[in-house]
Chains A and B, each alone.
Chain A
Amino acid sequence: MRIIIEELPDGEEEEIIIRTNGMDSDIMELIYAVKAGRSRITAFTQDGLIKLDSKEIFYFESVDNKVYACCEKSVYEVKEKLYELEKIYENTDFVRISKAMIVNVSKINKIVPMFNGRLEAALTNGEKAVISRQYVPELKKKLGI
């Protein structure tokens, strides 16, 4: 596959054109990766709205019908529902680990087995998230196990 990169004059909108004989899973993954990598989600703060890069987000958590995007040290409310975020970030580093949480796999430091038979994800910012047994197959699938 040839890769052609053209430098644009300042101010011109960037675009990616895919020329293919047919869509396959590799190309779909590439599209999702580009979309997710570039995608920014609108979050609410006390001062107004900000755009969050998906790479900054450690996990999304639903608490009392509100959804929060949790970054390394800060937490922002987002308007999307958890199932919508799951769809938006399908085929990216994000994976559902419980009814209330979607985690960024690239932010997981390690998995720890728990006393009650469940697994716990230790995140790189020191936080811990419990993985429900029913979502373990999804995580394993995401990691190619």
Chain B
Amino acid sequence: MNFFKLFINLFSTITVGISMVCAAIFLLVPEYEVSRYILLQVLLASFSTALLTAVGIYFFARLDSKLKAVIACAVHYVLLCAVMIGFGIWFDWMNFNLEGIVMMTTSVAAVYLITFLLNYILIKKEADDINEALKERNGQK
């Protein structure tokens, strides 16, 4: 998969993830006032985090051990949190205090989990299709 295709896939998946988290926050906190620029803000946040993730995956794919992968995952999560806290302050999504930071890092974790699960489901399906074809091919021999 080339970089652009990976980026587009991530951008769409992360946009879905952020939209789901936003929808959940709006439902759970009815007094939260929604800006008319929210869609643009979500797209900008998705774009930045998808770009960061695509670059991360580009290097991530070269890692040869599970430990390195877990460390890279943690670093990636911290960077995502930093970017999203920046956007959170800029777009007035959060207050820069402990409560605001906890809310944002939890939201990033939720989007991270949704994106990870969606990607894993796609890769698992791809592996299952290949295994089915392998079974047919190697079974015939």
Q: Which residues of A contact B (CB under 8 A)?
A: 105-106, 108, 110-119, 130, 132-134, 136, 139-140, 143-145
Contacts and interface: CB of A to CB of B under 8 A. Distances in A.
Interface of B: 1-2, 57, 60-61, 63-64, 66, 69, 119-120, 123-124, 126-127, 129-131, 133-134, 137-138, 141
B137 A105 contact: yes
B119 A117 contact: yes
Contacts of B60: 116-117
Contact of B61 (A113, A133, A139): A133
The 9 closest A-B pairs by CB, nearest first: A143-B133, A113-B123, A113-B127, A111-B127, A111-B130, A133-B1, A113-B124, A116-B69, A116-B60
A111 to B, nearest CB: 5
A143 B128 CA distance: 13
29 contacts: A105-B134, A105-B137, A106-B137, A106-B138, A108-B138, A110-B131, A111-B127, A112-B127, A113-B120, A113-B124, A113-B126, A113-B127, A114-B123, A117-B57, A117-B123, A119-B126, A119-B127, A130-B64, A132-B61, A133-B1, A136-B1, A136-B126, A139-B130, A140-B133, A143-B130, A143-B133, A143-B134, A144-B137, A145-B130
Nearest to A110: B131
B134 A110 contact: yes
B137 A143 contact: yes
